């Protein structure tokens, strides 16, 4: 009996390899894809006659196919990628996307030989399928602030990976939000400085004004505003790692008398400010807390004070119930990368601003700017992959490469948008803004 078990295992393994070759040969006929598939045996199977060199989908173990056959879902794919059982060789998801246009994917399911697919996948159904390590956020996530939503835990899951990790793909100012490309070929560093300056100009920052940055990250905006616009700036974050970096930066620049940063939830802020920026923070607070968010920001602003709300958005649906339904990739993003995150649609953001005492002045879409930003982040992280793996581990690095490439494609393909919205605390009479915006775009 002991001799029979290894023999049966060997026969199954051989059958799995033969089945994989047969199925991939059929897919090659249908797809004519400019890439290859590397089997767990090391064998490279092209998906067209002469594919370009280098780019391949690597299936590291037959167990990966077994898991996909038993549990066909995006979650399974992500866990396999994190575990290294499914990988891209010679590129990223961006490279696959660039070649997709040449693939014959139209009507693929209709053209697929279903009997062949069942026959070739059948041997994998009974293979080993140990559960991969779950890399998702493990804590509970309350939807509402009133139900005890722990924003600190949610933020720290994402941002407290390592400052050195983020430095591998961000610009020198450590800006982790959409850059602003005045020229299409501008460097990431130049585009992030242009973004900082545009925020300050939209807010009409003036020397001596008090400025609040909610979700200040690594302190780039508060320091830039103090140095170049003469404001007294205060930033808040819920990330311990970001706080330490920002405070070091403030001290290094000698800005202690003009810039302060603290670890605090925006809900616990008090005081009165001339101008407020919320850059890439709105996405974290949850749809059920938007009313409280806008009401709090209104309370923190002086009359005629300006707010710049910079946030990613989804497209509107026919009603809010449909809007709240999460597609698989969106659900995966909030599970593995941004726990608790929820995107608004711009119409609802504007409605809530008006409902809570704001006058909306300008709305500017930056979608294509963010497509380029995320692409550059992905390319920089891929170029520094070895260092990233040393810093946060191979699994996290794989997940982040997948996340950044996916975001770049979502913005590029108009699956997501991003808007800068300028609003003032509503008063009777003039809001105090110039009659045109010509000065912003000279």
Pair 184, 238 in one domain = yes
Pair 25, 113 in one domain = yes
Residue 68, CA distances (Å) to 64, 128, 277 in order: 6, 12, 44
The answer to the question of residue 131 being in a domain is no
**Which pair of structure tokens corresponds to residue 224?**
């830039």
- Residues facing 233 on adjacent strands: 211, 259
The answer to the question of residue 304 being in a domain is yes
Catalytic residues: 407
For residue 188, give the 3-state DSSP assignment.
helix
Q: Which domain holds residue 294?
A: 145-441
* CATH number for the domain harbouring residue 230: 3.40.50.150
Residue (of 241, 243, 298) closest to 269 by Cα position: 298
202 CB burial (10 A radius; 0-12, 13-18, 19+):
buried
Pair 44, 94 in one domain = yes
- Residues facing 417 on adjacent strands: 313
CA angle 299, 305, 307 (to 5 degrees): 80
Out of 76, 97, 125, a domain closes at: 125
Pair 60, 151 in one domain = no
Residue 159, CA distances (Å) to 130, 241, 242, 253 in order: 30, 7, 7, 23
Task: Check the CA dihedral 267-204-195-437 and report its sign.
Answer: positive
Pairwise CA distance, residues 202 & 420, whole Å: 10
Pair 113, 224 in one domain = no
For residue 87, give the 3-state DSSP assignment.
strand
Question: What is the CB neighbour count within 10 angstroms for residue 384?
Answer: 17
Q: Are 65 and 57 in contact (CB under 8 A)?
A: no
Pair 42, 158 in one domain = no
Pairwise CA distance, residues 385 & 398, whole Å: 9
Pair 351, 430 in one domain = yes
Out of 71, 91, 125, a domain closes at: 125
Pair 394, 292 in one domain = yes
Question: What is the CB neighbour count within 10 angstroms for residue 348?
Answer: 15
Pair 181, 310 in one domain = yes
Q: Would you state the pLDDT for residue 1?
A: 47
The count of residues in the chain is: 442
The answer to the question of residue 60 being in a domain is yes
**Which pair of structure tokens corresponds to residue 25?**
């040969």
The answer to the question of residue 327 being in a domain is yes
Residue (of 422, 370, 334, 293) closest to 141 by Cα position: 334
Pair 43, 149 in one domain = no
- Residues facing 333 on adjacent strands: none
The answer to the question of residue 220 being in a domain is yes
Alpha-helix runs per DSSP H in 32-113: 62-70, 74-83, 93-100, 108-111
The answer to the question of residue 133 being in a domain is no
Residue 64, CA distances (Å) to 116, 129, 293, 349 in order: 20, 7, 44, 42
Per run of 10 residues, the mean pLDDT along the chain (length 442 residues) is: 66 92 94 93 92 90 94 92 94 91 83 94 83 79 86 91 96 98 96 98 98 98 98 97 97 98 96 97 94 97 97 94 89 90 96 98 98 98 97 95 96 97 96 92 82
- Domains contained in the chain, number: 2
Pair 177, 291 in one domain = yes
The structure tokens 């803004």 sit at 433
Pairwise CA distance, residues 36 & 46, whole Å: 4
* E strand or H helix at 220: helix 220-229
Pair 77, 169 in one domain = no
Q: Would you state the pLDDT for residue 344?
A: 95
The structure tokens 């597609």 sit at 327
Query: pTM of the prediction?
Result: 0.93
The answer to the question of residue 313 being in a domain is yes
């Amino acid at each position: 009996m002991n001799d029979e078990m290894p023999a049966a295992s060997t026969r199954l393994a051989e059958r799995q390899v033969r089945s994989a070759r047969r199925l991939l040969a059929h897919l090659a006929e249908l797809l004519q894809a400019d890439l290859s598939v590397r089997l767990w045996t090391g064998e490279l199977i092209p998906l067209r006659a002469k594919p370009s060199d280098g780019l391949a989908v690597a299936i590291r173990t037959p167990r990966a196919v077994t898991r996909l056959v038993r549990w066909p879902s995006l979650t399974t794919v992500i866990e396999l990628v994190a575990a290294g059982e499914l990988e891209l060789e010679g590129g990223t998801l961006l490279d696959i996307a660039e070649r997709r246009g040449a693939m014959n994917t139209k009507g693929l399911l209709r053209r697929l030989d279903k009997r062949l697919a069942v026959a070739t996948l059948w041997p994998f159904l009974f293979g080993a399928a140990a559960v991969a390590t779950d890399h998702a956020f493990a804590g509970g996530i309350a939807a509402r602030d009133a139900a005890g939503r722990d924003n600190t835990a949610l933020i720290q899951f994402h941002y407290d990976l390592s400052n050195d990790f983020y430095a591998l793909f961000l610009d020198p100012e450590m800006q982790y939000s959409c850059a602003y490309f005045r020229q299409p070929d501008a460097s990431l560093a130049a585009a992030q400085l242009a973004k900082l300056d545009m925020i300050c100009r939209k807010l009409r920052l003036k020397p001596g004004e008090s400025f609040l940055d909610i979700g200040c990250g690594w302190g780039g905006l508060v320091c830039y505003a103090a140095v170049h616009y003469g404001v007294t700036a205060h930033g808040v974050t819920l990330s311990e790692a970001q706080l330490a970096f920002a405070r070091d930066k403030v001290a290094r620049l000698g800005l202690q008398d003009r810039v302060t940063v603290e670890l605090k939830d925006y809900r616990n802020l008090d005081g009165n400010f001339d101008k407020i920026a919320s850059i890439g923070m709105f996405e974290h607070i949850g749809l059920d807390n938007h009313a409280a968010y806008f009401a709090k920001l209104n309370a923190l602003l002086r009359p005629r004070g300006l707010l710049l709300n910079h946030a990613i958005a989804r497209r509107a649906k026919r009603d809010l119930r449909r809007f709240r339904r999460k597609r698989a990739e969106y659900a995966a993003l909030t599970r593995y990368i941004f726990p608790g995150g929820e995107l608004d649609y711009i119409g609802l953001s504007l409605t809530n601003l008006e409902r809570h005492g704001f006058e909306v002045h300008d709305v500017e879409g930056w979608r294509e700017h963010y497509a380029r930003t995320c692409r550059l982040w992905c390319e920089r992280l891929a170029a520094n992959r070895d260092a990233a793996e040393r810093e946060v581990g191979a699994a996290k690095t794989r997940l982040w490469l997948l996340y950044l490439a996916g975001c770049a494609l979502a913005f590029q393909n108009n699956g997501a948008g991003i808007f800068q919205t300028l609003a003032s605390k509503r008063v009777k009479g003039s809001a105090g803004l110039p009659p045109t915006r010509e000065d912003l775009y000279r």
